[in-house]
Structure 1
Amino acid sequence: MQIKMLPLMVAVVLTGCSMAPDYQRPDMPKTAGWQGVAQQSNATALPDWKTFMADEHLQSLVEMALKNNKDLRQTVLNVASLKAQYRIQDSARYPGLNASGSVTNQRFSDNYTGAGKAYNHYKQATVGVSSYELDLFGRVKSLSDQALENYFSQDEARRSAVISLVAEVATSYMSLLADEQLVSLTDDTVNAYEQTLKLVQTRYDAGYSDALTLAQSKTALYSAKATAAKYRLSVAQEYNTLRQLVGAPIDRHITGQLPEETGAFLSELKVGASSDLLLSRPDILAAEHSLKAANANVGAARAAFFPTISLTAGFGSASQSLDNLFSSGSGYWSFIPSLSVPIFDWGNNSANLDLAKIKKQSSIIAYQKAIETGFKEVSDALLGQKHYLEEWDAQKANLKANEQYYELAKMRYEKGNDSYIDLLDAQRSLFSAQESELTSHLSLLTSRINLFKALGGGWSAADHEASTSVKHAMDQVD
């Protein structure tokens, strides 16, 4: 039996020659134009997201989001789906072994035999291979490689989704804290305007102030109340955004303030922006895996021009009686190769090859574009780190000057040295300075998160937490 099966074994060994082009990573796009992006080597690893985000409340929100966020769970299922598709495609590279058995009982009539009733009993047991394609030109292997690279690409997309989710939760959390501070700030401003209105009303009743000044004081108060209502709405909306990102109920009484020292909230990122670091970004890796998949598809399209050889083989036993089914002399075998040669297909194979090459060129462009996007995002974040810090320092100095201006204007108005217009201008200027200082501080922290995200930080440590969502998502499928 071993000698009889030798042709099948030899044919299997000869399979697997690939016609896919040798993969070469495309040249890096020109990046010298991106400001702030240094091209030095970078030996410093990015911190994981828990080290980067020092706030414990924020850490708990991120952990909840990694377990419950619906978009991330959907992405996880997409990864699992492509992994299963790869396993299906890869299984076609190997012959499947099937076992079967049958029992046939037949009765023939008198008219058919001409000699009375006749009975026929036939038993059969077979082990064999059905419709296995010999992959002499690598078509099946190329399709398997394409499915594998598509799976890798989707898995990198999952990691990218983890990074984006961590960044979105952190940004939303900081925006919530900033809005809470703005509500507190406007409430203090409303109280200040109410006190001023009482003073103006007293002076008006005593005849020391006119109706115009009283009206101006009221409009300032009502404008501040409207601003406070706007910021309360923003707080409520930020809670809704966090609730959606986290995917679970959250505390409706989050309190806190943006810290005066940026490092107390987000650790310093003392890293360069080397090309090697950017190439480890999940979105860039995903684009490269898609390019490799397109490259493998070219190999499959090329192999379609060559003959296809399929094998059907089997060996087993057959007998008229069950007792003799596995006895000596009852064995049989079959070996049936079939050949299919493309002769004329109206240009179908040629068009498929052209399409595969076009998709590969498109994937090269997408890969290079992903790198350019990475450099742009890093450049923007680095520039933001620098300029937002300068802006925040200037806004803090401006706020201090406006506080002095307001105290001086208030004192002079109470002594009757200046008009209410001067005090009102000082109050409005102080409130605007407070808003601007808080906004620039938020922009600085947001730019730091954007830099962490742009450099591809956060996914390596977050993979452990994300595995929980993988298991949960698969349990839902079961």
Structure 2
Amino acid sequence: MQMEINMVLDFRRFLVVVVLMIMAFGCASNGKAITKDGINDGLKLPASFGQAGTADQYGENWWEIFESVELNALVDKLFQNNYQLAKSYDGLKALRTTLGISEADKIPSVTAGASASETYSTNSKGKRAWRDSYSLSLTASYEADIWGRVKAGTESDRLALISNSYDLESLYMTLTAELADRYFLYKSLASILKIQKEQYELRLKQISALEMMYSSGVGLLDTIYVKQTAMANLMESMTETKQSMESARLQIAKLIGEPDVSKVVISDKYNFKLPQLPYVIPSDVANKRPDIKAAFASVQKVDRDVAQAMANRYPKLSFSASTSFSGDELTRLISIDNFIANLVANIVAPVFDAGKLKLQVEKQKHLLSQQVNDYYLTVITALTEMSNSLNDNVQNEQALDLSTEKVRIEEKRLKIAEMKYEMGIKNYSDVIDNKISLLAGWISEVTARRSLISSRVELARASGGSWAGKIVDQRLTASTGETK
């Protein structure tokens, strides 16, 4: 009994020595996490953009503002079947597992063991014989996270997961915008091809009329050649339009995960609601863009890496406890006479490492500064993208207005040409030229409208939002039971 009391007293003295050693090193570890307000002090956001709309900001599912059932269905397929998204989810699950491994370091580890051996040796009677030996053991070990090293490592892994989940949100937004852009490109090209076919029919009629006039001795052969050259150029443009349509369809098939492009069927109707330009301010963009959130999460991650590097410079205190039964008879193995208990406290402190641990801290601090600058760059890039998008929208609105006005002028010119033809002042070939010119104006208008829609899509992407985060959380919850 007295021996057990002495062992307890000795262990307490050891703990006192441990505490004194830790106090001697001092609590120099900086566990204070960096805050967004702290790094935003070095970043001045403008109050407004140079260009701004007046309408309300787009809703969460911004692609629905175009009121296209066909586009909505394609977006659903993108969410379900895109392989790039699936790949990113696998990466997130791997990071989730990494975080689980880090979390496990906070909990004591317990191991169990059993052994049986047979030894041929000389016994106490001087005879050589086989001797049996059996043991059962249970060991628990735990590292006291005095300086927050384990906690900082776990936080670093958690923030890496958060940063990558925001990257996945950005991927959703990029792919959705790309799909919408390719969809509207295909639709505009289909509309242009229709107009080109009308131009083709008019050219055939025109060449036929000119050939009749030439046969009658009225027209010029050179005029026929000019129109035939225009016909050849038109046919070349039609071929390019078809190739561009097929390229857009292939890209759509890739985005929705469809290997058979023939199954991607898109109507040639071109009638969409064109949303108004919304009112957006820089602070909204900074708060809604997932790439900015990802950049800040990366700053926080490296900040925790700094804390972990600092904690590595200080003593590590660990405890282990084990119990076992050891004996030479299996039937009497579990008995008080065979019971052994062991309690160990261990402290390890760096004494000399040629400044390696200190340099590790310096390295992480430099990486933190680099990451903060990357965060600033991400914010500025996002605001620049938004500003450029707003400018493009305004310019494309003006271009569409000009194209519409040109169409009105061409319509008036056609009416005048038809009146002159009826009065015998102009021949029918001139009227056809005016009709073809009007159709060319329609093509310009369709192209201008497509450019404006494309800039609206880019504006929706650049604005950010939380809709992708909801999808990511729902899908991760369904697969792992965990959320961001």
Q: TM-score scaled to structure 2, two decimals?
A: 0.84
Instruction: Report the 3-state secondary structure (helix = DSSP H, G, I; strand = E; otherwise coil) of the residue aligned with 1:255.
Output: coil
The more displaced of 459-468 and 75-84 is 459-468
CA contact (8 A) 1:66 1:466 kept: no
Instruction: Report the 3-state secondary structure (helix = DSSP H, G, I; strand = E; otherwise coil) of the residue aligned with 1:312.
Output: strand
Partner of 1:123: 134
One-letter amino acid of the counterpart of residue 44, structure 2 = K
CA deviation after TM superposition for structure 1 residue 140, in Å: 1.8
Give 1:315-354 correspondences, 5 Å limit: 315-354=323-362
CA deviations over 1:264-314 (Å, ceiling 9, x no partner): xxxx56453351453232111111110000100110111122122333321
CA deviations over 1:204-259 (Å, ceiling 9, x no partner): 11111111111111111111111111101111111101110010246444113332
CA deviations over 1:14-34 (Å, ceiling 9, x no partner): 9x9963343121116334397
CA contact (8 A) 2:253 2:264 kept: no
CA deviations over 1:423-476 (Å, ceiling 9, x no partner): 68645643442222111101111122112111213634860797299859xxxx
- Matching of residue 255 in structure 1 with residue 267 in structure 2: yes
Partner of 1:155: 165
One-letter amino acid of the counterpart of residue 140, structure 2 = V
CA deviation after TM superposition for structure 1 residue 143, in Å: 1.2
Partner of 2:31: 20
CA deviations over 1:18-70 (Å, ceiling 9, x no partner): 63343121116334397346799x99783324643521111111111111111
CA deviations over 1:328-376 (Å, ceiling 9, x no partner): 3332211233333222222221221111011111111111111112212
The more displaced of 29-38 and 319-328 is 29-38
Distance (whole Å) between structure 1 residues aligned to residue 453 and residue 423 of structure 2:
43
Instruction: Report the 3-state secondary structure (helix = DSSP H, G, I; strand = E; otherwise coil) of the residue aligned with 2:370.
Output: helix
Sort the Cα spacing of 1:367 and 1:211 in 2 relative to 1 into closer, same or farther, 3 A.
Answer: same
Partner of 1:453: 461
How much is the aligned-residue C-alpha RMSD, in angstroms? 3.6
CA deviations over 1:388-436 (Å, ceiling 9, x no partner): 2232122112112113323433664686635899668645643442222
Give 1:383-394 correspondences, 5 Å limit: 383-394=391-402
The partner residue of 1:366 within 369, 374, 394 is: 374
CA deviation after TM superposition for structure 1 residue 377, in Å: 2.1
Sort the Cα spacing of 1:51 and 1:423 in 2 relative to 1 into closer, same or farther, 3 A.
Answer: closer
The more displaced of 117-126 and 77-86 is 117-126
CA contact (8 A) 1:162 1:466 kept: no
- Matching of residue 224 in structure 1 with residue 237 in structure 2: no
One-letter amino acid of the counterpart of residue 35, structure 1 = F
Sort the Cα spacing of 1:180 and 1:142 in 2 relative to 1 into closer, same or farther, 3 A.
Answer: same
- Matching of residue 78 in structure 1 with residue 88 in structure 2: no
CA contact (8 A) 2:52 2:278 kept: no
CA contact (8 A) 2:47 2:282 kept: no
One-letter amino acid of the counterpart of residue 185, structure 1 = I
CA contact (8 A) 1:200 1:217 kept: no
One-letter amino acid of the counterpart of residue 262, structure 1 = L
Distance (whole Å) between structure 2 residues aligned to residue 17 and residue 128 of structure 1:
33
The partner residue of 1:92 within 73, 81, 105 is: 105
One-letter amino acid of the counterpart of residue 32, structure 1 = P
Sort the Cα spacing of 1:118 and 1:253 in 2 relative to 1 into closer, same or farther, 3 A.
Answer: closer
One-letter amino acid of the counterpart of residue 166, structure 2 = E
CA deviations over 1:122-152 (Å, ceiling 9, x no partner): 222221124x433221222111111110011
- Matching of residue 404 in structure 1 with residue 415 in structure 2: no
Distance (whole Å) between structure 1 residues aligned to residue 439 and residue 214 of structure 2:
25
Give the number of aligned pairs: 461
Sort the Cα spacing of 1:243 and 1:45 in 2 relative to 1 into closer, same or farther, 3 A.
Answer: closer
Partner of 1:203: 213
- Matching of residue 182 in structure 1 with residue 192 in structure 2: yes
CA contact (8 A) 2:53 2:277 kept: no
Unaligned runs of 5+ in 1: 473-478
Distance (whole Å) between structure 1 residues aligned to residue 64 and residue 351 of structure 2:
64
One-letter amino acid of the counterpart of residue 65, structure 2 = F
- Bigger relative contact order, structure 1 or 2, given CA contacts below 8 A and separation 6+? 1
Q: TM-score scaled to structure 1, two decimals?
A: 0.85
Partner of 1:136: 146
- Matching of residue 58 in structure 1 with residue 66 in structure 2: no
- Matching of residue 193 in structure 1 with residue 203 in structure 2: yes
Distance (whole Å) between structure 1 residues aligned to residue 254 and residue 427 of structure 2:
50
CA deviation after TM superposition for structure 1 residue 175, in Å: 0.6
Partner of 2:249: 239
CA contact (8 A) 2:117 2:134 kept: yes
The more displaced of 202-211 and 86-95 is 86-95
The partner residue of 2:312 within 304, 311, 321 is: 304
CA contact (8 A) 1:67 1:469 kept: no
CA deviation after TM superposition for structure 1 residue 320, in Å: 2.6
Partner of 1:172: 182
Instruction: Report the 3-state secondary structure (helix = DSSP H, G, I; strand = E; otherwise coil) of the residue aligned with 2:393.
Output: helix
Unaligned runs of 5+ in 2: none
CA contact (8 A) 1:312 1:335 kept: yes
CA contact (8 A) 1:46 1:271 kept: no
One-letter amino acid of the counterpart of residue 199, structure 1 = A
Sort the Cα spacing of 1:336 and 1:254 in 2 relative to 1 into closer, same or farther, 3 A.
Answer: same
Distance (whole Å) between structure 2 residues aligned to residue 138 and residue 165 of structure 1:
40
One-letter amino acid of the counterpart of residue 115, structure 1 = G
Partner of 1:35: 49
CA contact (8 A) 1:163 1:456 kept: yes
Sort the Cα spacing of 1:9 and 1:254 in 2 relative to 1 into closer, same or farther, 3 A.
Answer: farther
CA contact (8 A) 1:39 1:275 kept: no
